[in-house]
Amino acid sequence: MYPLIRQLLFLLPAELSHELTFKGLDYASQLRLLSLFVPKPRRQKCQVMGLEFDNPVGLAAGLDKNGEHIRALSDVGFGFIEVGTVTPRAQLGNPQPRMFRLTRSDALINRMGFNNHGVDALVKNVQACDYQGVLGINIGKNKDTPLEGALDDYLICMKKVYSLASYITINISSPNTPGLRELQSKSYLMELLTGLKAKQLELLQATGKNTPLVLKVAPDLNEEEVQNMASAVLESGMDGLITTNTSVDKSLVAGEKYADEQGGLSGKPIFDGSLKVQQQFHRLLKDKVPIIAAGGIDSAERAQQRLDHGASLVQLYTGFIYQGPGLIAEIADQLAG
């Protein structure tokens, strides 16, 4: 059924079809209908960062920015769910249109710009949900916060979501907030990570709960940048790494309609670059820091390839949009053997 549904949804503007899809998923979840249409993945318990996952196939941040659809996403079979990116204050993001489908390449370009209702709204949504699985919460800085004040924005979000999150992802790799990727550079990164780890220790002592911190990186890093970031990850004691966010390399989709649009490229074309960065980090981190793979994963074979090169878990985003919910069970079942 999904190819037909997708064909109809793709006739609509991307953000409208996203909204309608989630309304349908929420409604079907409330009526307990999703199990009739979506294959349930085989349980494949795995432990990463001290957390137990039902299966290694998760949802990447970006689809449910405000934590409004966690129950429905759980019902389609994800082994873990990451919501956000959320910022201290609500912001509208960039002007529409800001999401573009490149259907010949099974890809998307988005320049959403961290549009979200703010961290307090997300906290209320998570508190109202009875989801018991692994929940990642992805945090960022507001667009108008200068880089020198970025740590304060991340600390505000971290403190508010700490008790609710299974893990917290530090997003410094989106290309859609001006200057954000500069936080990946030597001049900012170590200060940011050490500040966050200090707050993590403080919150651990106050609450008795250890919430792992995960760093999400870009696929467009050169070898020197990877080396610098890997050193910072090890020295600061980060608990995990997500490789990778979206790419700014539009040569990967040259000739496609919308290929010249500004924003981050996701989907099949970025798989190789994302894998290369993952391999570089894995060689440097030497299994001391677990890796979550994201970027261009749209089949069981590609998921297995990422695990073969050092990842412990995988996340879907664009592949989920193009292939549908059945992709979750397809990947999880094959990885389970």
Please state the pTM of the whole predicted model. Answer: 0.95
Phi, psi of 74 (to 5 degrees): -65, -40
The answer to whether 282 and 309 have CB atoms below 8 angstroms apart is yes
Residue 332: enclosing H or E segment and its boundaries? helix 326-335
Domains of the chain in start order, with CATH, are 2-335 (3.20.20.70)
Burial 199-209 (b: 16+ CB within 10 A, else e): bbeebeeeeee
Q: Which residue has the tokens 């990164």?
A: 189
Would you say residue 79 has pLDDT above 90? Answer: yes
Name the DSSP letter for residue 289. S
Q: Which residue has the tokens 């890093």?
A: 221
Per-residue pLDDT tens over the stretch 23-46? 999 998 889 888 788 888 877 889
The pairing of beta strand 107-110 with beta strand 99-102: antiparallel
Which residue type is seen at 335?
L
- Catalytic center residues: 174
The answer to whether 192 and 150 have CB atoms below 8 angstroms apart is yes
Per-residue pLDDT tens over the stretch 121-144? 999 999 999 899 999 999 999 999
Residues in the chain: 337
- Mean pLDDT for the chain overall: 93
Cα(161)–Cα(165) distance, integer angstroms = 6
Per-residue pLDDT tens over the stretch 140-163? 999 999 989 999 999 999 999 999
Nearest to 293 by CA among 316, 270, 272: 316
User: Would you call 147 exposed, middle or buried from its count of C-beta atoms within 10 A (0-12, 13-18, 19+)?
Assistant: middle
List Cβ neighbours of 230 (8 Å cut-off, separation of 6 or more).
280, 281, 284, 285
